[in-house]
A = this chain, B = another copy of it.
Amino acid sequence: MTRFSRPDVPARGPERRGLMFVLSSPSGAGKTTLSRALLAEDGDITMSVSATTRPPRPGEVDGVDYYFVSPDQFQTMIEGNALLEWATVFGNRYGTPRRPVEDSLAAGRDVLFDIDWQGTQQLQQTDAASDLVRVFILPPHLAELERRLIGRNTDHPEVIADRMARACDEIRHWGEYDYVLVNDDAETCLNEIRAILKAERLRRKRQLGLANFVRGMLGE
């Protein structure tokens, strides 16, 4: 006489909570290429779309590249706690609308954030911190970025110095991230990003369906 039966439902894919996948890096570390490759191949992660008060540039689509809002609308979003994080850059405001992110996480879908150390710090201070997976991408060196900026032959030396200083400033925050990658080979680095995402999805705390699954297995 047996007690344990084979369940009717497949074991794979107990429901899970999505995660917030942050990629930060200085300019020139290849982050944009890596993000695009990840988004193109992985249907379970989508890019977070920021709200901004900056006017659209030619070709930019509202709701795809940004949510374009007025300064008043932006202020209303802040006051209504409708933004997860926000910042002012060169007089324009940028922020992450809370609702689409929370809807995605609850639906078991991951959200990719292409933000700097300041945005990451802000997210870490919210109650979303336990959903956060913070990845920092380092370039193998800064010589390539400097050479590229100089090679353009269009920027004043002080512009170049300013951009290099910004890259160094970003790099100094590597210690605030969960994972750190050195991108000296794009395919190797993409494989590392894939592994981190795959592993983080298997964390017990994100697999909300496991408790029921185990109860069913034990016949309880």
Contact = CB atoms under 8 A, between A and B. Distances in A.
Contact of A198 (B142, B192, B217): B192
A145 B218 CA distance: 13
A7 interface: yes
B4 A150 contact: no
Interface stretch (A31-39, A41-49, A111-119, A176-184): A176-184
**Interface size for chain A: under 10, 10 to 19, 20 to 34, or 35 or more residues?**
35 or more
A166 interface: no
B138 A217 contact: yes
Contacts of A55: none
B142 A4 contact: yes
A189 to B, nearest CB: 10
Interface in A147-188: 147, 150, 164, 168, 171-172, 174-175, 177-182, 184
Given A204-B178, A204-B179, A217 B12 contact: no
Contacts of A10: 184
Contact of A199 (B11, B175, B200): B200
A203 interface: yes
Nearest to A177: B204
Contacts of A142: 4, 217-218
B207 A180 contact: yes
A214 interface: yes
A202 B182 CA distance: 10
A57 interface: no
